[in-house]
Amino acid sequence: MTSCDASDDDRLFTRWVVSQIWYRSLAGPAGSYTNLVTNPNVSNTRRPYFLGCPGWACDDWVDSFYSTSNRQRWLGQYSRVFNSVEGNSTFYGLPKLETVQRWADSAADGFEFVLKFPRVISHDKELVHADRNVGEFLEVLQLLKDANRLGPAFLQLPPFFAGRQLPDLAAFLHKLPDDFHYSVESRHADYFDQGPVEREFTQLLSELKIDRMLFDSRALFSSPPTDEWEVESQTRKPRSPVRQTVTGLRPVLRLIGRNDIPSVRPWMEQWAKIVAGWIGEGLTPYIFTHAPNNEYAPIAARQFHSILTECIPTLPPLCGWPAEEVQKQQPLF
């Protein structure tokens, strides 16, 4: 019996009825963010699912994942193995458009960037009076979309963004242009109350076909930390209640594990069943594997793909890691 042999009752995801999806008009109302960027309506190719790590610029991956210390080649090598990346750097500041263009040019075909809204929008201004900042971020998204390299942009709400601020969130989301895809991660306890706030939050995202970003840190907190990396991670990462709620077509999961990657397998097995179900429903999941020490994030992603293949045997294998391919080509003597 494999990790995917389960009854329908074990399928923990919320079924998304495609026929009931409501598409908003592409002609945004006056004052909407639609007017801040052009709208070429470039569409991305659909794939079974997207898999990646929280970033690609990791020095510790040289000689284990990357075959070179030349940072200019890392994104190209990364994108030949994984087809997405969780771009957290945009949370701290936006890159120059020339840099973003280099990203687009370096990434392999079929690759999609999932970029985080800048903190000045979400945390500093709390979604209010941030039109100029939003416009600058949308320029970055537009460039990637023009290059067919854009996945959903994700908005991480700060832990102090309470349920009473839900109207601000609604106003903000309604102003965003419909020609991009979005995901929203909540952290305040109000959004996990299984009551009126969570229901209203879910309804808002469902009506706008915006995905609720799913966050699972159970593995991280399953036992005391074993090294300084896990000490820091258990200090910084939230212990949010786990949800499998689907509100759009592109569910995004951030899976926070341990540095001992095999120990995370039980949680990965649970999610592999769910992700396989999503794919069977015609959804396009995005999965990002985290480890306290980012050195182990690619190993976690590879393990998740292996487990998912037990559920979907027809999934193509991941490409070999560039460092491994070089090692195979080296003579034994």
For the chain, domain boundaries: 83-212, 215-333
Distances (CA, A) of 156 to 25, 151, 273: 25, 16, 26
Q: Cα(97)–Cα(110) distance, rounded to whole angstroms?
A: 21
pLDDT mean values, one per 10 residues, the chain (333 residues) = 49 33 31 35 53 96 96 97 97 96 96 98 97 97 98 97 98 96 97 97 98 97 96 96 96 98 98 97 97 98 97 93 83 55
Q: Cα(275)–Cα(253) distance, rounded to whole angstroms?
A: 9
**How many Cα atoms within 13 Å fall on the side-chain side of residue 155?**
25
Contact status, residue 90 vs residue 116, Cβ threshold 8 Å: yes
Distances (CA, A) of 244 to 16, 54, 162, 273, 284: 11, 21, 21, 12, 14
What type of residue is 7? S
Q: Count the Cβ atoms, other than its own, within 10 Å of residue 126.
A: 17
What does the block give as tokens for 94?
A: 């936006």
Length of the chain: 333
Q: In the prediction, which pLDDT does 4 show? A: 66
Q: In the prediction, which pLDDT does 327 show? A: 78
Q: In the prediction, which pLDDT does 326 show? A: 80
What homologous superfamily is domain 83-212 in, according to CATH?
Protein of unknown function UPF0759 (3.20.20.410)
Distances (CA, A) of 145 to 39, 112, 229, 249, 305: 10, 9, 35, 18, 26
What does the block give as tokens for 86?
A: 């969780």
pTM (2 d.p.): 0.86
- Give me Rg for the CA atoms of the chain: 20
